Structure 1
Amino acid sequence: MKLPLVIATITTLLWGAAGEQTNAPILSPEARQALEDGLARFRQGKFEEAKNSFMKVTTQFPNYANGWINLGSTEYRLNQLDDAEKHLRKAVHLDPDLTQAWLTLGIIAYQKGDMDAGLAALSQAVYLEPDNAHAHMYLGVLARKRGWFDAAEEELRKAVEL
């Protein structure tokens, strides 16, 4: 398993259901059950089933940013990068303070070879959550790819210290 996938999985499990958006809708019992089922399937590695559950949530509650984060993170695990990017962008459109969405968008941009978009997304993740070691690590990796060695060293040092 690639390191970015491992880190994205860990951070999704930690952030996917946490950090409720401030203007989050009250989910119906059916949507809440679909969300819980999706999270359980995700943890079990049943990503197609998780995706189906999260799609139910986003269909019923299209303004629920965490539904889009979970859907996008699951699609990322399925290597459906275009769909993941689209759905994570929907999440940050609804709530621009979602560090996890920015972090995963940065990783996707890096994997697609779009260093500028990756640097922008990861910089936003670091801005929102300065103590996020994963965001500093990926920002350091991208800075290194850009040839910004001093910045890369600083970000990677921060990641290790955290």
Structure 2
Amino acid sequence: LGVSTRRMDRLVDTLGITSLSKSQVSVMAKDLDTQVEAFRSRPLDAGPYTFVAADALVLKVRENGRVVNVHTLVAVGVNAEGYREILGVDVTSSEDGAGWLAFFRSLVARGLSGVRLVTSDAHAGLVAAIGGTLPGASWQRCRTHCDCKVIT
């Protein structure tokens, strides 16, 4: 996660903890990394996931002393019980077709199945990745990204 000591100090300060050593931050970050990886690699066994929404967020992160943009790919599905579930999160250097394809392949490998509809923006690489990994699923542009025009 690359959590800085200063940032972790601010976080724990809100919890009423007054200070942390670098080794304590390191232990906490390692534990968080383990939990995040377990979440990101867990089996998707609450399917079928008939509806999936996919999108990307652009975030600024500090990497090797520089601030750079990263693209966080996110997929949310509706599970067999009708509840929304975050299916996956992945961070890539750019939002391209190869990144989306790898992301959806990893979801399918973890058990994503039964998808009948995927909504997303019309990013060509994303739409192609959906078609290449989720045969039989329909795609629809989500309302948030729709360029709908109102005629008056």
- Please classify the TM superposition score into its range, dividing by the shorter chain length: under 0.3
Asked which structure has the greater CA Rg, the reply is: 2
The TM-score, its normalising length taken from structure 1, stands at 0.27
The TM-score, its normalising length taken from structure 2, stands at 0.28
Higher relative contact order (CA 8 A, sep 6+): 2
Larger strand fraction of residues: 2
Larger helix fraction of residues: 1
